């Protein structure tokens, strides 16, 4: 009986191996192009790349009025003219996607000298974690799972990934706002995001004619919902960045986590010191956790003034050319500790 079971299992394994081989030589590349073209870009540029730069829209977002349209990674590269920085970008991406991209870097074929990964504070909040964009993002990396490609394709056909509906994601987000207690080392009237948001919405800002300034109130409430949280060890993004840092340490690749600037001026003026405290506390947590081994956090959190954010009525990490230059210069200074003989202080 046991012998028959072993023979059957062996037969199944052989069949899967044959099907996997056929799939790899026929439809795999086509499927990968359709679902995750970023991986094809990694493979294409691997041998010519010194530094990979993984990012979301902060890297490539520009305005027509910008005198220079260069991305953050392109400006950074100007400081190192003899090196090749390759940016792999996709809007709304986060560490949960980057961790799959990074495993596609073939360190045996050509090890990059360093990898830069965008560290976006907002990506740790309930709004982004439960975004309606999460389903297509998760779908894009199914083919990158650590299983035979034919198995991954089967899982993809079954929608066997984080495939929640928008309604489910909204419910999860609201539940977190309502139930997760905000932690302060001092007495605060704000217990949850839901309570704080409601308080801000009750006519916090008044126009000269006595009517509510709804635009300003709406923006202030959005800052609360976006930044009022405590990053803790169980946050899913922490697990994702732990994986990225662990992969780089294991493969002896220097990692730079590029912590993006947030609009601290508006957070302060619209909401106040307690929100700013939470933002800085979360920054400190990330710096303390990841500034070790071969990983360095490049702290840009407070470097860009409010007027340099191109989205003045929303919370994004989209900057004017001056803002992108500030971040690129700070990143270049961090990289210069490794590439000092390549660093050009002016261009």
Structural domain span for residue 334: 37-125+181-342
The helix-helix angle for 28-35 and 149-157 (nearest 10°) equals 50
The whole-angstrom distance between residue 116's C-alpha and the CA centroid of its chain comes to: 11
pLDDT attached to residue 19: 83
Q: Does residue 143 belong to any structural domain of this protein?
A: no
Q: Does residue 263 belong to any structural domain of this protein?
A: yes
pLDDT attached to residue 344: 87
Q: Does residue 131 belong to any structural domain of this protein?
A: no
The residues near 337 (Cβ < 8 Å, ≥ 6 apart) are 296
Per the prediction, the chain carries an average pLDDT of 95
Of the candidates 248, 218, 18, 204, the one whose C-alpha atom is nearest the C-alpha of residue 113 is: 248
Region 208-228 average pLDDT: 97
The model carries a pTM of: 0.94
Q: Does residue 8 belong to any structural domain of this protein?
A: no
Count CB neighbours of 44 within 10 A.
Answer: 11
Q: Does residue 244 belong to any structural domain of this protein?
A: yes
pLDDT tens sequence across 233-276:
999 999 999 999 999 999 999 999 999 999 999 999 999 999 99
Q: Does residue 30 belong to any structural domain of this protein?
A: no
Q: Does residue 26 belong to any structural domain of this protein?
A: no
* Cα–Cα dist 106/283, whole Å: 31
Is the model's pLDDT at 11 over the cut of 80? no
Query: What DSSP letter does each residue of 274-336 carry, written as one string?
Result: HHHHHHHHHHHHHHHHHSSTTEEEEE-TT-S-GGGBS-SSS----B-HHHHHHHHHHHHHHHH
* Cα–Cα dist 238/59, whole Å: 22
- Phi, then psi, of 194 in degrees rounded to 5: -60, -45
Model confidence at 14, in pLDDT bands (50, 70, 90)?
Answer: confident
Residue with tokens 């309570």: 195
Region 317-322 average pLDDT: 97
pLDDT attached to residue 321: 96
pLDDT attached to residue 346: 67
Q: Does residue 24 belong to any structural domain of this protein?
A: no
Give how many domains the chain has, as a whole number: 1
pLDDT attached to residue 79: 97
CATH number of the domain enclosing 292: 3.40.50.1110
* Cα–Cα dist 272/266, whole Å: 9
């Amino acid at each position: 009986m046991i012998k028959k079971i072993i023979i059957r299992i062996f037969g199944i394994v052989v069949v899967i191996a044959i099907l996997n081989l056929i799939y790899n030589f026929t439809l795999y590349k086509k499927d990968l192009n359709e679902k995750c073209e970023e991986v094809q870009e990694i493979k294409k540029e691997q041998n010519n790349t010194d530094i990979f730069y993984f990012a979301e829209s902060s890297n490539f977002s520009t305005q027509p009025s910008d005198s220079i349209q260069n991305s953050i990674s392109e400006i950074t590269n100007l400081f190192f003219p003899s090196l090749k920085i390759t940016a792999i970008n996709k809007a709304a991406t986060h560490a949960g996607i980057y961790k799959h991209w990074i495993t596609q870097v073939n360190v045996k074929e050509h090890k990059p000298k360093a990898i830069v990964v965008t560290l976006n504070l907002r990506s740790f909040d309930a709004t982004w974690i439960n975004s309606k964009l999460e389903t297509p993002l998760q779908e894009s990396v199914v083919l990158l799972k650590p299983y035979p490609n034919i198995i991954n394709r089967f899982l993809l056909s079954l929608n066997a990934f984080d495939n929640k509906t928008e309604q489910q994601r909204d419910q999860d987000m609201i539940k977190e706002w309502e139930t997760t207690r905000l932690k302060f080392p001092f007495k605060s009237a704000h217990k949850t995001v839901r309570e704080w948001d409601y308080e801000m919405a009750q006519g916090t800002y008044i126009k000269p004619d006595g009517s509510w300034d709804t635009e300003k109130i709406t923006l202030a409430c959005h800052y609360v919902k976006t930044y009022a949280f405590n990053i803790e060890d169980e946050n899913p993004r922490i697990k994702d960045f732990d994986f990225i840092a662990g992969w780089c340490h294991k493969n002896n690749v220097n990692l730079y986590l590029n912590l993006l600037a947030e609009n601290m001026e508006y957070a302060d003026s619209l909401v106040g010191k307690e929100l700013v405290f939470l933002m800085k506390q979360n920054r400190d947590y990330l710096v303390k956790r990841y500034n070790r081994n071969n990983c360095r956090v490049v702290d840009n959190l407070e470097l860009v003034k409010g007027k340099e954010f191109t989205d003045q009525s929303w919370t994004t990490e989209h900057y004017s050319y001056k803002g992108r230059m500030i971040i690129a210069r700070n990143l270049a200074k961090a990289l210069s500790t490794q590439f000092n003989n390549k660093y050009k202080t002016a261009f």
